[in-house]
Amino acid sequence: MISRRKSLQTIASGFGAAFGASMLPDISQAASTASGGPKRVIFFMQNQGMDPATCIPAGMKTGGSLAKAVLPEPIKALEPFKEQMHIIAGLHGKHTSPSHSAFFGALGGYRGSDGVAPSASTIDYELSKALPETLLPHLCVGMDSIENMKAKPTVANLSARGAGSPIFMHSNPNHLYQMLYGGISQGDIRNQHEAKSSMYDRIEQMAATEGKTLPSGDKQRFGEFVQGFNDMNGLRERLSKVSDHLKNFAPTVDDAYTNPEFETDWHDRILDLGISALKSGTTSVLTIGSGRGEIFGAWKGLGIEQQGHNLGHMKQPDNPIWVKIRQYNSRMLVKLMEELESVPEGSGTMMDNTLIVYTSNNANAQHTNGANWPVVLLGNCGGAFKTGQFTQLDGTRPINALYNSILRTTGVEADRFNMSDQMAAKFDSGTGPLKEILA
């Protein structure tokens, strides 16, 4: 019997011969052996902050092994994965001004605020450039109330490709499914996909023509709009060329796509689509925004009637509402890990070459100065990170140092990430990566 790993390698080599390496940049890379650096990175951003007591085992103050530690109830589902876990406390994001949310600053390591455009690229986008090229370099998905996801199926709060260049996150699983798999579907989904493709082509052509007459300042902003349609149209064309491969990974469409009872029905489908994009090799960087990088968010499917801003005014430790929310997100992390562990890769599995970064877009609480920004790492990217332990830092190194550490493992050498020497003199006691977390 041919193994799944061997099947993927055979598919990849066949595509490479048929289309050339540039046409299918990373399907073959996804099935290659580990080379010591991360092959894929996932960011899971919980909104409203992450109180340290909800992720640090009781009694652990100075760091140490997690082997005999008991995980707090909110992340109890991750107990079987303690050997693959690294809990970090004592990073800070004071310079990001994270009260309510740091928005783009959470992944950018710079000052962020509601309605403020990104001032630089974010770490997820930088990783998408550093890792082997894929059909879709970076996928960002967001989860919110069903009303918000329907009214605004795409928003931009967390990721950016540069100053003034946000990356939109997808929140309607029907739209995301059409984008990824519409070209290989049948019936209504296929018809809608083709209709949208034709419409996007026309809009791109019209927008490019109209934009030439705008003033220079507006022309730049309009150019971003046109580029978005250009990227979308280009992606559709690239995906259509590997349709036979994608058929192996497309999730089954059920009634929850078109007729969800609760917002969590859509949350679950969005997660499935993100997992499918990773397993197919379509992307190697996935960002998940629980609450879409804002102060909103709803989990009525868990029996929680409260939603949005009010949740942030509730203390998280031992709060049954927040325990339910965090347990739900922990189960999502478990599903991510189990799905990636199910796919052979090299001498191990896809999870062996993956790093999951579980944290918040808002440090430790909704109203915070960012002095403590807890992070949970899952996986070690082929041995690049220490696992099975808790590390307590002294609060003098910023989240930028964590992002620099992750970027370093992809071969990008830099002393800092998105932090000038002047800023570092005030907000960073060190330079380079966090030696405490690297293997």
CATH number at residue 331: 3.40.720
**Residue 101: per-residue pLDDT:** 95
State pLDDT tens for residues 97-151: 998 999 999 999 999 999 999 999 999 999 999 999 998 989 999 999 999 999 9
Q: What is the pLDDT of residue 401?
A: 98
pLDDT for the residue 182: 81
Q: Tens digit of pLDDT for each residue in 397-438?
A: 999 999 999 999 999 999 999 999 999 999 999 999 999 999
pLDDT band at 37 (very low <50, low <70, confident <90, very high): very low
Q: Given this model, what pLDDT does residue 31 score?
A: 36
Output the pLDDT for position 207. 55
Say what the pLDDT of residue 240 is. Answer: 76
What pLDDT does 193 receive? Answer: 46
Query: Are 135 and 24 a contacting pair, CB within 8 Å?
Result: yes
Q: Kindly tell me if the per-residue pLDDT of 239 is higher than 90.
A: no
pLDDT at 27: 45
pLDDT the model gives residue 160: 96
Structural domain contains residue 273: no
State the pLDDT at residue 206.
53
**Above pLDDT 70, what percent of the chain?**
79
In a domain, 87, yes or no: yes
More confident: 243 or 353: 353
Q: Is residue 213 part of a domain?
A: no
pLDDT tens per residue across span 187-226: 565 455 444 554 444 544 555 555 555 555 555 555 555 5
* Section 276-288 average pLDDT: 96
Residue 18: inside a domain: no
Residues 14-21, mean pLDDT to the nearest whole number:
31
Whether the pLDDT of residue 303 is over 50: the answer is yes
Query: Could you give the number of structural domains in the chain?
Result: 1
Average pLDDT, the chain: 85
**Residues 12 and 282 sit within 8 Å (Cβ to Cβ):** no
Name the pTM for this structure: 0.86
CB 376 within 8 A of CB 81: no
Domain-embedded: residue 163: yes
CA 325 to chain centre: 18
Is residue 228 domain-resident? no
pLDDT at 23 over 80: no
**Residues spanned by the domain of 291:** 36-176+283-417
Q: Is residue 242 part of a domain?
A: no
Q: Is residue 229 part of a domain?
A: no
pLDDT of the residue at 156: 94
